[in-house]
Chains A and B, each alone.
Chain A
C-alpha cells in the first residue's frame, strides 16, 4: 500500500515527469527553444501536408460592404467610389485589394449569399452555426463542430483544437465546453496560462496535493464526474507546459515572414493562425482588428484603413501557405454576419443587408479563381442560385473530409445534421 502511494505521488497528476523535465530544460532558454520549436514545426508541417485538414475563418465583425470589395457595380448608382481591377481569377475585385488580386487563382468569391438575418447578433449566430437562433437549443458554431469531429482524433495535439484569436467566436452549444473556442488575444496571450513566478517544483508540489484529494473523491464511487474533472486538469497542465504553446508566438517568426503578411496586427494574427494550423489545430478563427459596421463614411474608412490591412494580410497568408505546401489542406473563409446595403445612405455609409452579398473562400483543395453566383446590376438581388451559410460550411466540411450526413444529438435528444442540411457549392468542389 505505502509502496503504491509513493509511486502515485511521483508520477500522477496529469504530467509525465519526462514531459515536465523536458519543459524545465527549455525554460529560460528562449532562443534555443525557438529554434528547436521551428524545427518541430517543420517536422509537423510535413505530417500536416499528408493528412491533416484545417480551416481558418477570418471574421469581419460588423458586416463588411462586400459590394465594395468582391462584387463591384461600376455604372450603377449604388456603385460607390471604387473601381474594379482584374485578378488572376476569372473575375474582378476592388482596386484597393491589389495584393489579394494576385492570389485570386487560389481563392474564389461566392457572390450570391442570401441570408435573411440583418441583425448583428442573429446574423452572427446564423453565419457561424448555419442555424437561425432558436429558443430551445444553442447550436454549435462550426469551429466547435470541427473540433468535435477532427480535434478529438488528433492525439498528438496538446493545445485546444479550436482557437479564436482576438475575440470569442460563438458558443459550442450542445457540443459542450470541451469544444468551446479557446480564446487568445492578438498577441497570443492566454488568460491564466502563465507560469509567472511559479517554479516547476512548486507546481509539482501543488499537483501532488491535488492528486491526493482528487483520487480520494474518485475512489468514493459517485460517478464519472471526479475522473472527468481530473482529465481536464491533466490537459490544462499539459497545455501550460507544452512546447506547442509556442505556436501562439508570432513574434518568433523571422522578419521577412512578418513583412510578407504586412507587418501589422492583422498579419501577425494570421501568422499565429498558420502556426496553429501547422501544429495540428483544425480550426482557427481570427477576428479582424477593426469593425466593419460602416454606417458612416464607408469609402474613406475602407480605402485608408480596412482594405489595405485585409489585402496585405490575406495575400500574405495565401502565399505563405502555398509556399509551405499547406494551402491544399487549409481552407480559408472570409466573411462577417452580412453584407451592406447597395444604396448609399445620407452619411455616405451603407446599412445592414443580408439579401445579396459575398464571401471569400478558398484553399483546402477547393477550386480557385472562380466567381460563384451573380447579383443584378445594382446589387439588389441575387439573379443566380443563392446560397445559405449551411452551403458555405458544407463546402468547408467537404474540404475537411467531414461527412455531411454527420448527425449530432442535442441535449434534448433531437438529432441535428451538421450545417443544417446545407450542400457543398458545386462550382467550388468540381
Chain B
C-alpha cells in the first residue's frame, strides 16, 4: 500500500495543530487515553516542579512530532509514510496510548531493546572471545517474552557456560581479558556490573575512598570479591585447511577461590575485603559467590537498587535525561532531580513484577513525554544541556544513534525491500550495510543521547554515501520511484508532501512548499529536482534528530 496524502489530511492536520491543548497546573485536559492512576501521579509530581521553578510547560507535541518520537524511542526507527498517514487520520481520543501498546507488541521493539542493551552490556565493538550473537539471542528472547528485569539481571550476574549456548555469559566474558590470576582481572567486570546494573560508580573507590560520599575503598573490593570465582576459558580447535589452531569458543567458568581479596590503601597498608553487598557480608567458605550476588541483587535487596537503576535509565532513554546525571551514578552524593517520583516509580516497577513494558507504558503516557521539543521564553530556562537540572517542561532533542539512523534510512527509502529472508540472513546483510554507519556514527556508547558530536565523515557518508545515493536514484522499488510513478499524487504539492512525510514524518508548511517549488524550477528536469529534494530531506538536521 502506498500512502494516501490528500488535501483532507492536510486540513485535518492543520485543524489539529490549531486546537492542540496546553498543559497547565490547573487544567490537565490532555490525555493520551490511558487511565492508569500512576500516570496521574507522575504528572502531578512533574507539574509540581514546574510550579516550584516557575516555568510554563511547552505545548503538547503535534501528532506528527509525537509519532516520530515514539517510534524512534520504542522500536528504533521512524514511522513509514503509511504509518504516519494512518495515525494522522485516526480521530480516536485514545490513539496515543493505543499506539504505545501496539509498538510494545511490535517485533521491532524486541530488536531495538536488544540493540540498546547489547551496546550497554558489551559495547559496540565486541571484545575478543565474546559472542555478540549469543548476547543478542539471550536479550532477544528475554525482551520478546517480557521477562521480569530482575530475572534477566540474575542471569547476567550468575550465568556460566558456553558463550553461544548460554548467551547471558557474554556480559561478564566481555569484561574479562588478560591473566586470570592477576589482581586486575576482575576489575573491569566489577566496575561495569555495578555501573550498568546497579547504577553505582564504585570504580572511583578502586584506588581511594569516594570523594563525595561515604563509600570507602573497601566497597569496590567487596564487590570485586564476589567475582573472583570467575574466569574465562578460550577453546581452540585444529583447522585442517590452514593447519593451525584457531579460536573455537569461549566459556565463563568457575574459578577456585575462597577467602578475602587483598588490596592496598593509599598509605600502603594492605586491607582485606570479603564479599559484601550493601552491608551484608558473606565470609563463609565454600559458597558460590556470584550466585549470592545475583540473589541479593535480584531478589533480596530491600533498597531495590536494581529497580531504581533500571527506572532511571529507562526514563533517560525516553526523556533524554534521567533523574541523575550521569544516569548511572546514583548514590548519596548525587541527589535525584525528582526523588519522590523516582522512589514511587521504582516501587511500582517492583510491584509490577519488574515489568519492563509496563514501565515504558507509564513513561510514554505521561504529559511530559507528550510535550513538544519547542520551547519558549516561559521555559527556556529548562535547559539541561547548559547544566540545569531537567524539569521536563519540554521534550529534549536527542541525536539518533547509529542504529536508529540506519534503520530509519531504510524505512524512508525502501532500500530494505530486497532484504527479505530469514532473520539470521537479513540481520547479517543489515550488519554488513551497517558497518559504515557504526564506524562513522558509532562513537561512544556512554554518550548522553542529547549530545551532538557531528563529524565531517558523518556528513560525507550522508551526502555521498552509497545508501543515500541508492535511495535517490529512483529505481524501481525505491520509495522515490513509488511516489513519482503513482498517479494518485496529482501534482507537485502532493508529491512534495509525500516525501516530507516519509522522511520527516510531517507535512511541509505552506511556506516550505512555496520555497521548494521555486527551487525545483531551477532544476534541469523534474526527476533531478525530486532527487535533490529527497537528498536534502534525508540530509537535514530535522531528519537526524529525534525531537
Residues of A within 8 A of B (CB): 5, 9, 119, 121-122, 133-138, 160, 171, 173-174, 176-178, 180, 182-183, 190-194, 202, 205-206, 208-210, 212-214, 216-218, 220-226, 228-233, 235-236, 239-240, 411-413
Contacts and interface: CB of A to CB of B under 8 A. Distances in A.
Interface of B: 127-128, 175, 177-178, 187-188, 191-192, 195, 201, 203, 326, 329, 373-376, 383, 385, 396-397, 399, 443-444, 446-448, 451-461, 463-465, 509, 512, 515-516, 519, 522-523, 528, 532-533, 535-537, 539-542, 544-545, 547
A124 B251 CA distance: 26
A8 to B, nearest CB: 10
A138 B446 contact: yes
A123 B128 CA distance: 14
A177 B515 contact: no
Contacts of A122: 177-178
Contact of B535 (A193, A194, A209): A209
21 contacts: A134-B203, A136-B203, A136-B446, A177-B453, A177-B458, A180-B455, A191-B460, A209-B516, A209-B532, A210-B536, A213-B512, A214-B540, A221-B374, A222-B397, A222-B545, A223-B396, A226-B542, A232-B455, A240-B460, A411-B447, A412-B201
B446 A411 contact: yes
Contacts of A223: 373, 383, 385, 396-397
A135 B127 CA distance: 12
Contacts of B373: 222-223
Contacts of A230: 541
A240 B539 CA distance: 16
A13 B335 CA distance: 44
Nearest to B460: A192
Contact of A212 (B457, B516, B547): B516
B519 A208 contact: yes
Contact of A214 (B399, B446, B519, B542): B542
Contacts of B465: 192
Contacts of A171: 444
B327 to A, nearest CB: 10
A226 B399 CA distance: 10
A38 B533 CA distance: 38
A210 B187 CA distance: 48
B454 A228 contact: yes
Given A178-B453, A229-B544, 5 more contacts: A5-B515, A136-B195, A202-B532, A205-B528, A217-B541
Contacts of A177: 443, 453-455, 458
B465 to A, nearest CB: 5
Nearest to A236: B459
Given A135-B195, A222-B375, A229 B541 contact: yes
Contact of A217 (B178, B329, B456, B540): B540
A198 to B, nearest CB: 8
Nearest to B372: A222
A174 B465 CA distance: 26
A261 to B, nearest CB: 27
A209 B536 contact: yes
Contact of A216 (B175, B461, B512): B512
A180 B399 CA distance: 18
B191 A135 contact: yes
Contacts of A137: 446
Nearest to A221: B374
Contacts of B191: 134-136
Nearest to B543: A213
Nearest to A411: B446
Q: Which of A9, A138, A177, A194 has the most CB of B within 10 A?
A: A177
Query: Which residue, A174, A191, A205, A228, has most C-beta atoms of chain B within 10 A?
Result: A205
Contact of B453 (A160, A176, A214, A226): A176
Contact of B540 (A119, A213, A232, A235): A213
Nearest to A228: B452
A205 B383 contact: no
Contacts of A236: 456, 459-460, 463
A202 B528 contact: yes
B532 to A, nearest CB: 5
A174 to B, nearest CB: 7
A229 B177 contact: no
B205 to A, nearest CB: 12
B177 A209 contact: no
Contact of B375 (A183, A217, A221): A221
A218 B522 CA distance: 25
* Most B CB within 10 A of own CB, among A160, A194, A213, A221: A213
Contact of A180 (B188, B396, B457): B457
A205 B523 contact: yes
10 smallest A-B Cβ distances: which pairs? A209-B536, A236-B459, A232-B454, A229-B541, A176-B453, A177-B455, A192-B460, A210-B536, A192-B464, A217-B542
Nearest to B196: A135
Contacts of B539: 210, 233
B233 to A, nearest CB: 17
Contacts of B454: 177-178, 228-229, 231-232
